[in-house]
Amino acid sequence: MRVTCPNCGERDRREFYVKGAALARPAADAALDEWHDHVNLRDNPAGEVHELWFHEMGCGAWIDVCRNVVSHEVISTAWVSDLGGTR
Amino acid sequence: MADLISLSPCDGLLPVTIGSVTLSEDLPDAMTSLAPYAGQEKALSAALEAAHGMGFPAINRSTGKAGARAIWFSQGMALVQGVVVAPELTEFAALTDQGDAWAVVRLDGDGAEDVLARLVPVDLRRQSFKRGHTVRAELAHMMASITRVGPDAFQVMVFRSMARTLVHDLKTAMAAVHARG
Ligand SMILES: [Zn+2]
């Protein structure tokens, strides 16, 4: 599998660490049910997922990777910092 | 007062030549990482140009030349080698002394590309990786910085604690390339 880092270009999967699903975090004072959902419940679709990948062996950027878990196609990659987060 | 002896990261290990490729240690006079504050990238580049005659490098590129070089070093960071960075640059960036933190080696000679091809999963051939180009990439499970500094010459850097492993893996690859003739 090859992943295109927005900084480094197309790189081998082995250079990355995968944290898991890319999720919008609930507000700090959100209800317990909402936090329970955020921490524990996942949809597990047979299709496209968004995940947080870390270019550990490269530039150190956190990347939002959209990939298809059936075909293994990598559909898009973007800096997490461009998606509303802070650097 | 104890008389302290300073040892370089690759002390006693280098230089070594196998076939047409030589691996030697480089000891830049100074190494400082520059991480521009948010929105200060242009101002930092101008200040770096004024103070040291080289701009802040673009992603996967380096500026300057042997003796005073700025290398793109990771997301939002560059490494200046060879000169002590002017203190006024602290207005625009976080400066961190990296002088003792990295092993710096030079891989030089016909076949250096073939040696790195055995260890790095990135295309470093001349047609796609020209002089001044740089990458952060895996080198035999180590987080390396690799810069082409000449037609057949590369600068390779890893954390100082990995110096012996770096030399071992590069020597093994040099011997394997040489054995193929
Ligand atoms: Zn990267």
Topology of the domain comprising B16-27+100-180: Gyrase A; domain 2 (3.30.1360)
**Number of A:B CB contacts under 8 A?**
42
Q: Tokens 């040291």 identify what position? A: B52
Comparing CB atoms, the residue among B38, B75, B138 nearest residue A15 is B138
Beta carbons of B137 and A61 less than 8 Å apart = no
- B79, B31 Cβ separation under 8 angstroms: yes
- The pLDDT score that the predictor gives to residue A24 is 84
pLDDT grade for B3, boundaries at 50, 70 and 90: confident
For the residues A74-82, what does the mean pLDDT come to?
91
Question: What are the pLDDT digits (tens) for A7-21?
Answer: 999 999 999 999 999
Count CA atoms closer than 13 A to B174's CA, side-chain side.
22
- The pLDDT score that the predictor gives to residue A86 is 44
Q: What is residue B133's DSSP assignment?
A: B
Comparing CB atoms, the residue among B75, B121, B135 nearest residue A60 is B75
The residue of chain A with its CA nearest to that of B73 is A59
pLDDT at B181 over 80: no
Question: What are the pLDDT digits (tens) for A19-41?
Answer: 999 988 899 999 999 999 999 99
Residues of B in contact with A55 (CB under 8 A): 75
Residues, Cβ < 5 Å to ion ligand 1: A 5, 7-8, 55, 58-59
- The pLDDT score that the predictor gives to residue A85 is 52
* B74 at interface of A, judged by CB pairs closer than 8 A: yes
For the residues B68-80, what does the mean pLDDT come to?
97
| Average pLDDT of chain A to the nearest whole number | 92
- The pLDDT score that the predictor gives to residue A87 is 41
* B4 at interface of A, judged by CB pairs closer than 8 A: no
- The pLDDT score that the predictor gives to residue B97 is 96
For the residues B94-100, what does the mean pLDDT come to?
95
- The pLDDT score that the predictor gives to residue B158 is 98
| Average pLDDT of chain B to the nearest whole number | 96
What is the A8 CA–ligand 1 centroid distance (Å)? 4
pLDDT at A46 over 80: yes
Question: What are the pLDDT digits (tens) for B140-157?
Answer: 999 999 999 999 999 999
Per-domain residue ranges of chain A: 2-24+45-81
Beta carbons of A7 and B60 less than 8 Å apart = yes
The neighbour count for residue B137, using CB atoms within 10 Å, is 24
Q: What is the ipTM of this complex?
A: 0.87
> Regarding predicted confidence, which is higher, A25 or A74?
A74
- The CATH homologous superfamily of the domain defined by A2-24+45-81: Folate-binding superfamily (3.30.2270.10)
Who contacts B90 (Cβ-Cβ below 8 Å, separation ≥6)? Answer: none
pLDDT at A67 over 50: yes
Global pTM?
Answer: 0.92
Tell me how far apart the alpha carbons of residues B166 and B77 are, in angstroms, rounded to a whole number: 23
Beta carbons of B143 and A56 less than 8 Å apart = yes
Q: Tokens 């380096």 identify what position? A: B62
Comparing CB atoms, the residue among B38, B60, B76 nearest residue A8 is B60
